């Protein structure tokens, strides 16, 4: 497999070079070697473009090296720095890149390593970075470098960086952070666990599969305490850590994965200057031969020879020089003794801008800085030259070379013996630093074949893939990393002297990882084991004591006492077993006591005569062996054999004799496990198990809270996005006018405006459920409209598809008649019949669809099951003769296009008297125009017909502005659409009143009252107001009312505010139970049901005007007579039947045998008569089923079964 990459030189765009990358196992391109580093492949020095391409090329090769068994999980690597964190994912899921960088929520490839707490909410990454300028005391950084460090060191470190953290010293002597609530304190391990959990979430969101295993990178100077603390943080985050890998090892793995070192060894230095530290690592790349499947192959490998560092020199050290410079300049401008350093907020703003200024200086010789309202509402603006910046950092340039010089000094190598010096880390982009490196190395160009930011995390991801069970590297690259520190073991206790026996070097510096060590000491009492760093001059940052672990070993004294009375051949010893893990952590795994004794034991006594005879016989047999092999001695062999057998028999008899036992001195060794308990104290102590359990619970609670907050924000964004997108469609789309009325669109827009106003006022801090409720409300209105809009184009396309398939079907069947004559005609005729039915159905529905006088769908149609056909007459239909029901428990309340009516159940006595009046038939209504009625709900029917003229609508308000009542507004509407105006008629609306609470039944209706109203909803109507035969039925429903709206309503004379006026209230909506009672005339008693929610009189007027605008008008679009899905379903049903017929196989032709003569026929008859039923069955299995059955076949029922099959 060869890939061709064309790389154009900036100097000549017409010239190009090509690189042929290696196959998966062989054919790697050799790098050209020059005096120092040379140019890899077709790399041209100085071309940044080609450096990026080569890096991508190396990444592509790395991807090709991955193979995996089918898996639904991925592995990841996390490069956790002091300021930034990067996440890489190895995922071999189909359709995704095998190795990639996980982007964050802002689509960035690296995320700020920040955690913040504000108003009870936890913010991580980009969210925390967004508030650092306003709340610097609530945003916590440099968290990685706080693990395992003493409180004093962390406090001084934070002060030097102007970090206004509220640090607290914990029981271990390490630093914790008290957050903004003033009570809660989080340890460094907990805060780092939050970052790691955030990184894991990025990896899983990016890969779309669970991430089970992770590799975490650390700088080489991380000691034992920091590495243990990082593992504890990963445990709190629920991460399974495959390994901790040194940063330089990750970079070396990424560097060497696509290269071939079989012909030569290369020494490469990786020079890394990050945000907070600088190191130089010497790595040797080579190859060795190995056997694989019987073949000798060359395997690449690398070994870390040495690494040196400065843990307090990095990019932020240079930034601090600029911060101090600009702070002094601002103080001089303001004067009056002002010191901007005393303001944490001002320093946070200044540091943020300084970081940008430093980045500008890397590409320009001058950079500006501008900070608005830096301090006391004063703006700060200034400029700085690159020359001035380099002058401010003059001492840092020499310090930056020290790690490089030291690694060369201790390795004994010269500069010209190095193959390359690869630069990684963001701070290596500073021009002055590169110039100093070029001067020291004596070369013009530096090696930049790796991505300065991502090489480490990508190499760590390859390491994770190699360690994972489900993924492996097809291209092998051995990694030999070493311990950055040397370690010493020291024993102390009663009877132990401090000498070379009790203090020994256990691990040499750069010892291979992982490794196991063993130490033994002669002692008979319990003792303690201390692990310390080898050199006090080479300690991790902030470590004041070289001791990092202490263990108590017990049980040795008891073992000594138990065995001391026995004959000891040597002093009792304690064996100590140590391990240095692949993460670089040293630990005492176990200890055991070794006791060696000698004692007399009885053993069977040996017969010396038998032993001698056996020896002689053996010798004789050996001498006679040559003669026995010759052919001439065969005749004499029986005689010799007889003598030999006799002798052997005599020996066996003598050896079987019981000669008794004798005592013999024998050595025995006993191994007794000893108890090992860790007793580490101080800052080197890990979090206790109790603290770990509490921390895990706290983090889980925070995760749940964050998930709910994210869900709320997501729903809020969804609601806001839906409002804007929907309004734009309603206002700008021309097609939407074809499937909706102007009144319908305007009503929807008003509802969108209402929800939007709520969103930016009372809904600012609403819950996720409230956002979802309003989104569902809007979708309930909008989905039917957009369903019709989609059907406007989908339905014709479906029709075209259906007609096309029907035409194609005829061709298919014609082909069957010519080429597949064996297909059953009955089934073909069935398909043709079904096709005709589909064609007729489609023609009929298309004809119905073209009718121009249909009225458009209402919001009752096209809801959740919008893909299914809804009846176009659900809202406007012809009147039907109706018989009053006696059980109304399953009736729905009336419909309202503008406001949702309450749903509930009907209670009370069933009205015994049936309605005596029936609705007018269609013929009776022809005098008024087209006979169609709109059913707004079930209500009492009467024969009285009234017309609506102008504003003659009776609000029955009795001069009360806000009286509530439940109007039986229209029992049925009839309309006549003339050229100029629209007349709306309705049958008698009956009598109605409303009150809160349950009304008494059997009360009488007053005479000559059109509408009964309770002037105060809390008052009950007196019995004198009702007729003698009046029966009441009540409908109980749940109304969402605004509390503030209720207060407004009370001031205006109402107990409850109208439904829909939620925007008046700032408090959450409450659910109130109310009852609506309807009173009707005795002669008109029948089915009753509330049509609308409770409304004030003004709302009723608005409602009627809206209904008059929409009812009965020809809207210019038709009710969908069919949907596109119906067409596709019918076509698919046809297609399934056609496919099932088409799969019927062609029967095998029957083989005609030649005619037989008389003799052969007789033999065949005899053979047939003697054959068994199994043979007949076998013959029929091979037949096609079309042959005529023999008499034998007909007589055998088993054979018939085979024929049918």
Amino acid 1154: pLDDT: 62
Of 31-40, 265-274, 435-444, minimum mean pLDDT range: 31-40
What is d(CA 997, CA 1077) in angstroms, rounded to the nearest whole number? 9
Confidence band, pLDDT 50/70/90 cuts, at residue 733: confident
Amino acid 1142: pLDDT: 87
Q: Which three-class secondary structure state does DSSP give residue 672? A: strand
Amino acid 31: pLDDT: 31
Checking if the pLDDT of 738 tops 70, the result is: yes
Strand order in the sheet with 167-169: 167-169, 175-178, 185-187
pTM score of the predicted model: 0.65
Checking if the pLDDT of 621 tops 90, the result is: no
- The mean pLDDT of 945-970, rounded to a whole number, is 33
Checking if the pLDDT of 1167 tops 60, the result is: no
CB 133 within 8 A of CB 112: no
Domain ranges in the chain are 315-394, 482-601+670-687, 698-849, 888-1041+1076-1112, 1158-1204
For residue 577, give both structure tokens: 């077993």
For residue 213, give both structure tokens: 């295993």
Q: Output helix, strand, coil percentages for the chain, rounded to the nearest 5.
A: 40, 20, 40
389 vs 291 pLDDT, higher one: 389
Pick the CATH number of 482-601+670-687 from 2.60.34.10, 3.40.190.10, 3.40.228.10, 3.30.1440.10: 2.60.34.10
Mean of per-residue pLDDT scores for the chain: 72
Confidence band, pLDDT 50/70/90 cuts, at residue 1174: very low
Q: Which DSSP helix (H) or strand (E) runs through 1102?
A: helix 1097-1110
What is d(CA 334, CA 313) in angstroms, rounded to the nearest whole number? 32
- The mean pLDDT of 645-651, rounded to a whole number, is 45
Checking if the pLDDT of 1164 tops 80, the result is: no
Q: Report the half-sphere exposure of 441 (CA within 13 A, side-chain side).
A: 26
What is the per-residue pLDDT across 988-1014, written as a single tens digit (0 to 9) for each? 333 333 333 333 344 443 333 233 322
Confidence band, pLDDT 50/70/90 cuts, at residue 212: confident
Confidence band, pLDDT 50/70/90 cuts, at residue 1156: low
826 vs 1112 pLDDT, higher one: 826
CB 463 within 8 A of CB 479: yes
814 vs 775 pLDDT, higher one: 775
- The mean pLDDT of 1123-1148, rounded to a whole number, is 89
CA-closest candidate to residue 153, choices 312, 310, 315: 312
What is d(CA 595, CA 76) in angstroms, rounded to the nearest whole number? 48
CB 89 within 8 A of CB 99: yes
- The mean pLDDT of 38-54, rounded to a whole number, is 37
- The mean pLDDT of 880-898, rounded to a whole number, is 32
Name the β-bridge partners of 549.
531
In sequence order, the 6+-apart residues with CB closer than 8 A to the CB of 1113 are: 741, 855, 977, 982
For residue 598, give both structure tokens: 């000698």
Q: What is the bridge-based pairing of β-strands 527-533 and 487-492? A: antiparallel
CB 209 within 8 A of CB 68: no
Confidence band, pLDDT 50/70/90 cuts, at residue 382: very high
The top-level CATH class assigned to 315-394 is alpha beta
Listing DSSP states for 879-931 in one string gives -------S--TTPPPPP-SSSPPP-EEEESPPP-SPPS--PPPTTTTGGGSS-
CA-closest candidate to residue 198, choices 143, 276, 145: 143
Q: What is the bridge-based pairing of β-strands 933-934 and 973-977? A: antiparallel
Of 28-42, 786-800, 848-862, 1092-1106, minimum mean pLDDT range: 28-42
Cα dist from 462 to 169, 218, 255, whole Å = 39, 16, 11
Checking if the pLDDT of 194 tops 80, the result is: yes
Listing DSSP states for 1107-1141 in one string gives HHHHTT---SS---SS-HHHHHHHHHHHHHHHHHH
Fold for 698-849, please state it: Substrate Binding Domain Of Dnak; Chain:A; Domain 2 (1.20.1270)
CA 1102 to chain centre: 50
Amino acid 26: pLDDT: 26
Q: What is the bridge-based pairing of β-strands 211-218 and 240-246? A: parallel
Checking if the pLDDT of 1026 tops 80, the result is: no
Checking if the pLDDT of 832 tops 70, the result is: yes
What is d(CA 858, CA 744) in angstroms, rounded to the nearest whole number? 9
What is d(CA 185, CA 178) in angstroms, rounded to the nearest whole number? 4
Q: Which DSSP helix (H) or strand (E) runs through 230?
A: helix 224-236
């Amino acid at each position: 497999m060869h890939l061709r990459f064309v790389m154009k030189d900036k100097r000549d765009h017409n010239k190009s070079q090509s690189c042929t990358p290696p196959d998966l196992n062989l054919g790697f391109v050799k790098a050209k070697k020059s005096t120092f580093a040379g140019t890899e492949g077709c790399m041209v020095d100085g071309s940044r473009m080609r450096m990026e391409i080569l890096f991508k090329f190396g990444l592509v090769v790395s991807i090709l090296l991955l193979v995996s068994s089918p898996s639904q999980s991925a592995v990841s690597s996390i490069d956790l720095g002091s300021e930034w964190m990067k996440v890489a994912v190895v995922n071999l899921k189909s359709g995704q890149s095998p190795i990639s960088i996980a982007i964050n929520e802002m689509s960035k490839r690296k995320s700020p390593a920040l955690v913040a707490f504000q108003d009870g909410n936890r913010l991580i990454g980009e969210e925390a970075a967004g508030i650092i300028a306003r709340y610097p005391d609530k945003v916590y950084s440099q968290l990685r470098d706080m693990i395992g460090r003493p409180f004093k060191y962390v406090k001084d470190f934070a002060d030097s960086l102007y970090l206004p953290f509220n640090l607290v010293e914990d029981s271990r002597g390490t630093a914790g952070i008290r957050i903004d609530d003033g009570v809660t304190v989080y340890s460094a391990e907990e805060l780092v666990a939050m970052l790691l959990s955030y990184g894991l979430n990025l990896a899983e969101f990016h890969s779309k599969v669970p991430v089970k295993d992770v590799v975490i990178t650390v700088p080489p100077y991380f000691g034992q305490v920091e590495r243990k603390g990082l593992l504890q943080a990963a445990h709190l985050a629920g991460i399974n850590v495959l390994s901790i890998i040194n940063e330089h090892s990750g970079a070396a793995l990424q560097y060497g994965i696509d290269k071939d070192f079989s012909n030569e060894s290369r020494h490469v230095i990786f020079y890394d200057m990050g945000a907070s530290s600088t190191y130089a690592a010497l790595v040797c790349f080579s190859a060795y031969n190995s056997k694989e499947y019987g073949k000798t192959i060359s395997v690449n490998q690398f070994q870390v020879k040495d690494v040196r560092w400065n843990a307090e020199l990095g990019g932020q050290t240079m930034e601090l020089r600029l911060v101090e410079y600009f702070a002094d300049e601002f103080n001089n401008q303001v004067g009056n003794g002002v010191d901007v350093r005393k303001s944490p907020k001002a320093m946070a703003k200044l540091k943020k801008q300084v970081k940008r200024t430093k980045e500008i200086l890397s590409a320009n010789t001058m950079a500006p800085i501008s900070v608005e309202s830096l301090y006391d509402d004063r703006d700060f603006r200034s400029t700085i030259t690159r020359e001035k910046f380099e002058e401010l950092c003059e001492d840092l340039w020499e310090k930056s070379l020290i790690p490089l010089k030291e690694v060369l000094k201790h390795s004994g190598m010269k500069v010209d013996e190095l193959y390359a010096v690869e630069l990684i880390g963001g701070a290596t982009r500073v021009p002055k630093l590169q110039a100093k490196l070029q001067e020291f190395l004596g070369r013009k160009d530096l090696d930049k074949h790796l991505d300065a930011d991502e090489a480490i995390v990508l190499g760590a991801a390859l390491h994770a893939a190699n360690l994972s069970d489900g993924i492996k590297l097809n291209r092998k690259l051995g990694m030999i990393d070493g311990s950055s520190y040397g370690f010493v073991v020291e024993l102390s206790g009663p009877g132990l002297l401090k000498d070379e026996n009790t203090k020994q070097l256990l691990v040499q510096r750069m010892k291979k990882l992982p490794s196991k060590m063993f130490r033994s000491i002669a002692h008979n009492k319990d003792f303690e084991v201390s692990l310390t760093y080898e050199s006090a001059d080479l300690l991790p940052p902030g470590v004041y004591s070289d001791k990092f672990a202490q263990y108590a070993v017990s049980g040795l004294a008891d073992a000594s006492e138990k065995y001391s009375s026995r004959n000891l051949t040597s002093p009792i010893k304690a064996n100590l077993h140590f391990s240095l893990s692949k993460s670089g952590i040293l630990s005492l795994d176990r200890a055991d006591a070794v006791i060696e004794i000698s004692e007399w034991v009885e053993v069977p006594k040996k017969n010396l005569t038998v032993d001698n005879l056996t020896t002689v016989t053996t010798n004789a047999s050996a001498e006679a062996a040559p003669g026995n092999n010759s052919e001439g001695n065969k005749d004499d062999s029986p005689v010799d054999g007889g003598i030999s057998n006799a002798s052997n028999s005599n020996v066996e008899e003598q050896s079987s004799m019981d000669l008794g036992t004798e005592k013999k001195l024998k050595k025995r060794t006993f191994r007794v496990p000893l108890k090992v308990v860790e007793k580490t104290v101080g800052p080197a102590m890990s979090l206790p198990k109790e603290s770990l359990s509490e921390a895990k619970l706290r983090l889980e609670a925070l995760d749940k809270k964050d998930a709910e907050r994210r869900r709320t924000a997501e729903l809020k964004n969804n609601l806001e996005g839906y409002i804007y997108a929907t309004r734009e469609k309603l206002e700008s789309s021309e097609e939407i006018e074809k499937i909706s009325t102007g009144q319908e669109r305007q009503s929807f827009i008003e509802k969108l405006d209402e929800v939007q106003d709520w969103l930016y006022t009372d809904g600012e801090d609403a819950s996720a459920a409230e956002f979802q409720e309003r989104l569902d409300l809007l979708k309930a209105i909008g989905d039917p409209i957009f369903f019709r809009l989609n059907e406007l184009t989908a339905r014709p396309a479906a029709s075209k598809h259906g007609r096309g398939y029907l035409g194609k079907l005829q061709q298919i069947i014609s082909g069957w008649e010519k080429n597949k004559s064996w297909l059953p005609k009955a089934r073909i005729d069935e398909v043709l019949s079904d096709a005709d039915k589909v064609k007729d159905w489609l023609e009929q529905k298309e004809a119905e669809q073209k009718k121009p006088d249909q009225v458009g769908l209402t919001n009752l149609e096209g809801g959740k099951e919008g893909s299914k056909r809804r009846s176009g007459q659900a809202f406007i239909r012809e009147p039907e003769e109706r018989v009053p029901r006696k059980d109304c428990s399953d009736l729905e309340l009336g419909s309202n296009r503008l406001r949702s009516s309450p749903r509930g159940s009907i209670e009370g006595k069933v009205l015994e008297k049936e309605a005596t009046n029936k609705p007018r038939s269609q013929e009776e209504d022809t005098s008024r125009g087209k006979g169609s009625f709109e059913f707004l709900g079930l209500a009492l029917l009467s024969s009285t017909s009234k017309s609506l003229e102008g504003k003659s609508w009776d609000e029955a308000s009795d001069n009360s502005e806000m009286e509530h009542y439940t109007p039986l507004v229209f029992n049925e509407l009839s309309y006549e659409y003339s050229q100029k105006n629209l007349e709306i008629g309705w049958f008698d609306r009956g009598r109605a009143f409303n009150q809160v609470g349950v009304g008494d039944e059997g009360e009488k209706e007053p005479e000559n009252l059109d509408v009964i109203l309770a002037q105060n909803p809390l008052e009950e109507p007196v019995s004198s107001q009702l007729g003698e035969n009046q029966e009441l039925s009540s409908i109980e429903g749940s109304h969402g009312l605004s509390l503030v709206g209720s207060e407004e309503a009370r001031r205006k004379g109402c107990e409850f505010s109208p439904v829909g006026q939620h925007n008046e209230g700032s408090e959450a909506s409450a659910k109130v139970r109310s009852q609506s009672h309807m009173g009707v005339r005795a002669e008109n008693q029948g089915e009753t049901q509330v049509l609308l929610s409770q409304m004030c009189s003004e709302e009723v007027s608005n409602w009627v005007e809206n209904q008059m605008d929409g009812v009965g008008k020809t809207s210019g679009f038709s009710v969908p007579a069919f949907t596109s899905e119906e067409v596709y379903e019918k076509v698919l049903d046809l297609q399934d039947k056609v496919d099932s017929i088409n799969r019927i196989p062609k029967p095998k032709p029957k083989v005609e045998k030649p005619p037989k003569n008389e003799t052969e026929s007789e033999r065949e008859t005899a053979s047939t008569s003697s054959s068994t039923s199994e043979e007949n069955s076998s013959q029929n299995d091979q037949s096609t089923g079309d042959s005529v059955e023999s008499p034998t076949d007909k007589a055998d029922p088993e054979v018939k079964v085979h024929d049918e099959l």
